Amino acid sequence: MEHWNSTLGSGFILMGILKGSESPELLCAIITILYMLALTSNGLLLLVITMDTRLHVPMYLLLGQLSLMDLLFTSVVTPKALVDFLRSENTISFGGCALQMFLALTLGGAEDLLLAFMAYDRYVAICHPLNYMVLMSTRVCWLMVATSWILASLSAFAYTMYTMHYPFCKARMIRHLLCEIPPLLKLACADTSRYELMVYVMGVTFLMPPLVAILVSYTLILFTVLHMPSNEGRQKALVTCSSHLTVVGMFYGAATFMYILPSSLHSPKQDNIISVFYTIVTPALNPLIYSLRNKEVMGALRRVMGKYMLRTHPTF
């Protein structure tokens, strides 16, 4: 098969979930609503955490970073998918594809590490409350945030550069919502078996240690919670941890499907559904999962809204 020139002037065609849907207009409307929900809920949560000084603690600093990652992640993919559908234009340049892949991998990898750090934060808060401000100082917290971003961006840069160096064939249709490694490798006119094995091994290496850390943290938390004398304290700890575990389950389920399951078990339709789930649905649900059952966040939201109403309507 002939190669096509993979330069900055060349491009791909993204054949996402909207293109092959039986009711594309309805699906487009649903995705638009979910995207607006993700923007609103994550933006509002970030605003509340930034403006309310009572939430300037490690737990909410990490939660704010999670909202920022979700906000950016869905914005890397969703607006282009919607605009392409409305314009009936599904092309993406070679450089644009590389940039989208780099950003998606960076944000996904950073969230992977951040969820592990959030589990450690809950472990320290519940199992070692007297040492919490020492083990989870502001400096330690920002070090966790910086580590998540830096390691994820370095990993994403290496993956993107290596994936995009392959020669691609004339059939340049990517049967996926966004530029990701598995669907792009299917277009390569070279043997990618070794690289696919490396992606699998690195995927396991990058995903499994944080997941193991999360499971160990919550196992220890569960033992501690079960021995708490206070029913109120036990309930508060379980509510906080159940929210985190829900987010962890959604994130790692999708990531495992895309990067750990063998390519023989993948189909374009399944991959598209999973990609919609972790790039659009999950970012819209995460802030709702964390905030609706959290009395501190809801109280902070009421205080921030109250201050806004007093500034705009002083007579109230």
Q: Which residues contact 139 (CB under 8 A, 6 or more apart)?
A: none
Side chain identity at 133, as an amino acid letter? M
Which pLDDT score is estimated for 244?
A: 79
Confidence at 233, pLDDT banded by 50, 70, 90 = low
**Counting beta carbons within 10 angstroms of the beta carbon of residue 314, is it exposed (0 to 12), middle (13 to 18) or buried (19 or more)?**
exposed
Looking at every residue in the chain, the average pLDDT score rounds to: 84
Which pLDDT score is estimated for 73?
A: 94
Alpha-carbon distances of 80 from 33, 41, 194, 292, rounded to whole Å: 15, 20, 32, 30
Which pLDDT score is estimated for 20?
A: 65
For 305, other C-beta atoms within 10 Å of its C-beta total: 12
Confidence at 266, pLDDT banded by 50, 70, 90 = low
For residues 38 and 13, the model is more confident at 38
Rounded CA separation 243/292 (Å): 10
Query: What percentage of the chain carries pLDDT values higher than 70?
Result: 89
- Closest of 117, 62, 110 to residue 290, by C-alpha: 62
Q: Are 92 and 179 in contact (CB under 8 A)?
A: yes
pLDDT tens for 17-74 read 777 677 878 888 999 999 999 999 999 899 888 888 888 889 899 999 999 999 999 9
Question: What domains lie within the chain, and their CATH numbers?
Answer: 23-312 (1.20.1070.10)
Which pLDDT score is estimated for 265?
A: 66
3-class SS at 5?
coil
Confidence at 5, pLDDT banded by 50, 70, 90 = very low
Side chain identity at 68, as an amino acid letter? L
pLDDT tens for 117-166 read 999 998 998 889 889 988 999 899 999 999 999 999 999 999 999 998 88
CA 85 distance to own-chain centroid: 23
Which pLDDT score is estimated for 117?
A: 94
Rounded CA separation 187/167 (Å): 9
Q: Residues 223-231: what's their mean pLDDT?
A: 78
pLDDT tens for 291-304 read 766 778 877 777 87
Its pTM stands at 0.87
Rounded CA separation 97/91 (Å): 10
Query: What percentage of the chain carries pLDDT values higher than 90?
Result: 29
Which pLDDT score is estimated for 300?
A: 76
3-class SS at 230?
coil
CA 268 distance to own-chain centroid: 21
Strands 11-14 and 91-93: antiparallel
Which pLDDT score is estimated for 309?
A: 61
3-class SS at 12?
strand
For residues 180 and 267, the model is more confident at 180
Which pLDDT score is estimated for 308?
A: 60
Which pLDDT score is estimated for 34?
A: 93
Which pLDDT score is estimated for 175?
A: 81
